[in-house]
Amino acid sequence: MKNPVMPASGTFGAGREYSELMDINRLGALVAKTVTLKPRDGNIPPRLCEVSSGMLNSIGLQNEGIDHFLKHDFPFMKEFDVPVIINIAGNSLEEYAQLCREIDRVEGVSGIELNISCPNIKAGGIAFGASSKLAEQVTAAARYNTQLPLIVKLTPNVYNISKIARAVTSAGADAISLINTMVGMSIDTNTFKPNLGNITGGLSGPAIKPIAVRMVWEVAQSVKIPIIGIGGISNALDAVEFFLAGATAVAVGTANFINPLTMTDIISGLEAYLVDKGFTDIGQIIGKVKT
Amino acid sequence: MKNPVMPASGTFGAGREYSELMDINRLGALVAKTVTLKPRDGNIPPRLCEVSSGMLNSIGLQNEGIDHFLKHDFPFMKEFDVPVIINIAGNSLEEYAQLCREIDRVEGVSGIELNISCPNIKAGGIAFGASSKLAEQVTAAARYNTQLPLIVKLTPNVYNISKIARAVTSAGADAISLINTMVGMSIDTNTFKPNLGNITGGLSGPAIKPIAVRMVWEVAQSVKIPIIGIGGISNALDAVEFFLAGATAVAVGTANFINPLTMTDIISGLEAYLVDKGFTDIGQIIGKVKT
Amino acid sequence: MLQIKADIIGKEEVMPGVFNLIIVSPEISRNARPGQFVHVLCPSGDGFMLRRPFSIHRVVPGRAFEILFQVVGKGTEALSRVKIHDTLDIIGPLGTGFKYSEDIKSALLIAGGLGAAPLLFLAEELVERQVLFYPMLGYKTKTQMLRYIDFKRLGKKTYAATEDGSFGHEGTVVDLLNRTVHNIRPEIIYACGPVGMLKKISETADEFGIECQVSLETKMACGIGVCLGCACVTRQGYKMACKDGPVFDTRDILWGAEDYEKGRASGCGCDNEAPPETDSAG
Amino acid sequence: MLQIKADIIGKEEVMPGVFNLIIVSPEISRNARPGQFVHVLCPSGDGFMLRRPFSIHRVVPGRAFEILFQVVGKGTEALSRVKIHDTLDIIGPLGTGFKYSEDIKSALLIAGGLGAAPLLFLAEELVERQVLFYPMLGYKTKTQMLRYIDFKRLGKKTYAATEDGSFGHEGTVVDLLNRTVHNIRPEIIYACGPVGMLKKISETADEFGIECQVSLETKMACGIGVCLGCACVTRQGYKMACKDGPVFDTRDILWGAEDYEKGRASGCGCDNEAPPETDSAG
Ligand SMILES: Cc1cc2nc3c(=O)[nH]c(=O)nc-3n(C[C@H](O)[C@H](O)[C@H](O)COP(=O)(O)OP(=O)(O)OC[C@H]3O[C@@H](n4cnc5c(N)ncnc54)[C@H](O)[C@@H]3O)c2cc1C
Ligand SMILES: Cc1cc2nc3c(=O)[nH]c(=O)nc-3n(C[C@H](O)[C@H](O)[C@H](O)COP(=O)(O)OP(=O)(O)OC[C@H]3O[C@@H](n4cnc5c(N)ncnc54)[C@H](O)[C@@H]3O)c2cc1C
Ligand SMILES: Cc1cc2nc3c(=O)[nH]c(=O)nc-3n(C[C@H](O)[C@H](O)[C@H](O)COP(=O)(O)O)c2cc1C
Ligand SMILES: Cc1cc2nc3c(=O)[nH]c(=O)nc-3n(C[C@H](O)[C@H](O)[C@H](O)COP(=O)(O)O)c2cc1C
Ligand code: FES
Ligand code: FES
CATH of the domain at A72: 3.20.20.70
- Summarize pLDDT for A225-241 with one digit per residue, the tens: 999 999 999 999 999 99
> Is C83 in the D-facing interface, judged by CB distances under 8 Å?
no
pLDDT at B24: 97
Chains sharing 3 or more CB pairs under 8 A with chain C: A, D
Q: Which residues contact ligand 3 via a Cβ below 6 A?
A: A 8-11, 33-34, 57, 59, 61, 87, 115, 118, 153, 180-181, 204-205, 208, 230-233, 252-255; C 227, 229
User: Hey, how many other C-beta atoms are within 10 angstroms of the C-beta on A149?
Assistant: 16
Report which DSSP code applies to B194. Answer: B
D44 to C44: CB separation less than 8 angstroms, yes or no: no
Mean pLDDT of chain C: 87
Contact A44 C262 (CB under 8 A): no
A–C CB contacts, 8 A cutoff, strictly below: 142
Cβ atoms within 10 Å, residue D170 = 13
Which ligand is nearest the CA of C94, by number? Answer: 1
| Ligand (nearest to CA of D221) | 6
Q: Does D87 score more than 60 pLDDT?
A: yes
Residue B124 has pLDDT above 90, yes or no: no
For residue A122, what pLDDT is reported? Answer: 67
> Is residue A124 a part of any domain in this protein?
yes
Total count of domains within chain A: 1
pLDDT digits (tens, 9 = 90+) for A98-134: 999 999 999 999 999 999 988 776 666 777 889 999 9
d(CA D198, CA C103): 83
Pocket test for ligand 5, best of C36, C96, C226, C248 (most atoms within 8 A of CB): C226
Judge whether B48 lies within some domain: no
Pairing status of strand C64-70 against strand D132-139: unpaired
Question: How far is CA D43 from its chain centroid?
Answer: 23
Q: Answer yes or no: is B53 within a domain.
A: no
Range of the domain at A261: 5-43+60-183+205-284
Sheet bearing C132-139, strands edge to edge:
C169-170, C159-162, C132-139, C106-112, C188-192, C211-215, C247-249
What is the Cα–Cα distance from A13 to A6, expressed in whole angstroms?
12
Question: Residue D45: pLDDT above 80?
Answer: no
Q: Which chains touch D (3 or more CB pairs under 8 A)?
A: B, C
The whole-number mean pLDDT for each consecutive block of 10 residues of chain A, a chain of 291 residues, reads: 95 96 97 96 95 96 96 96 96 94 96 89 76 94 96 95 96 97 97 96 97 98 97 98 98 98 98 97 97 91
> Is position B74 within any domain?
yes
- C236-239 long-range contacts, CB within 8 A, separation 24+: C236/C276, C237/A41, C237/C275, C237/C276, C237/C277, C238/A41, C238/A42, C238/A45, C238/A62, C238/C275, C238/C276
Cβ(C81)–Cβ(C211) below 8 Å: no
Q: Is D220's pLDDT higher than 80?
A: yes
CA-CA-CA-CA dihedral for D43, D49, D55, D56, to nearest 10: 40
Look at residue B55 and tell me if it is in a domain.
no
Q: Which helix (H) or strand (E) holds B209?
A: helix B209-222
**Per-chain mean pLDDT for chain B:** 95
Nearest CA of chain A to the CA of C65: how many Å? 20
Looking at the complex, does the CB of residue D86 fall below 8 Å from at least one CB of chain C? Answer: no
Whether residue C110 contacts residue C123, with contact meaning beta carbons closer than 8 Å, is answered with: no
Amino acid at residue number C4: I
Reference B241, options C246, A190, D158, A46; nearest CA is A190
State in Å: Cα A39 to ligand 5 middle.
19
D179 Cα distance to chain centroid: 23
Residue D262 has pLDDT above 90, yes or no: no
The residue whose CA is least distant from atom 31 of ligand 1 is C73
What pLDDT, on the 0 to 100 scale, is given for residue D46? 67
The band of C46, judged by pLDDT with boundaries at 50, 70 and 90, is low
Distance (angstroms) between ligand 5 centre and the Cα of C65 equals 23
pLDDT at C45 over 90: no
The amino acid at residue A241 is: E
Distance between CA atoms of residues B178 and D221, nearest Å: 22
Residue pLDDT, tens place only, A238-255: 999 999 999 999 999 999
Contact D47 C45 (CB under 8 A): no
Is B50 inside any structural domain?
no
> pLDDT exceeding 70 applies to what percent of chain C?
90
Residue B12 contacts by C-beta under 8 Å, 6 or more apart in sequence?
B18, B30, B31, B33, B256, D226
- Does the pLDDT at position C266 exceed 50? no
User: What is the Cα–Cα distance from D209 to D202, expressed in whole angstroms?
Assistant: 10
CB B31 within 8 A of CB B113: yes
Query: pLDDT tens across D68-84, in order?
Result: 999 999 999 999 999 99
Confidence bin at B1 (pLDDT 50/70/90): confident
Distances (CA, A) of B286 to B31, B226, B289: 22, 10, 8
Q: What is the set of domains in chain C, with CATH numbers?
A: 2-94 (2.40.30.10), 106-279 (3.40.50.80)
Residue C166, CA distances (Å) to A106, B90, C150, C158, C170 in order: 68, 70, 19, 16, 7
pLDDT classification of C282: cutoffs 50, 70, 90 = very low
Catalytic residue among B118, B167, B212, B270: B118
- How confident is the model at residue C258, as a pLDDT? 38
Asked if residue B132 is part of any domain, the answer here is yes
* C47 to D47: CB separation less than 8 angstroms, yes or no: yes
Is residue A139 domain-resident?
yes
Q: Give per-residue pLDDT as tens, B261-271.
A: 999 999 999 99
Average of pLDDT values for C116-138?
93
pLDDT in tens, B93-119: 999 999 999 999 999 999 999 999 887
More confident residue, C101 or A285: A285
Q: Is the pTM of this model over 0.80?
A: yes
**What number is the average pLDDT over the span B269-276?**
97
A100 is catalytic: no
- Is residue A33 within 8 A of residue A12, CB to CB? The reply is yes
By the 10 Å C-beta count (0-12 exposed, 13-18 middle, 19+ buried), C125 is classed as middle
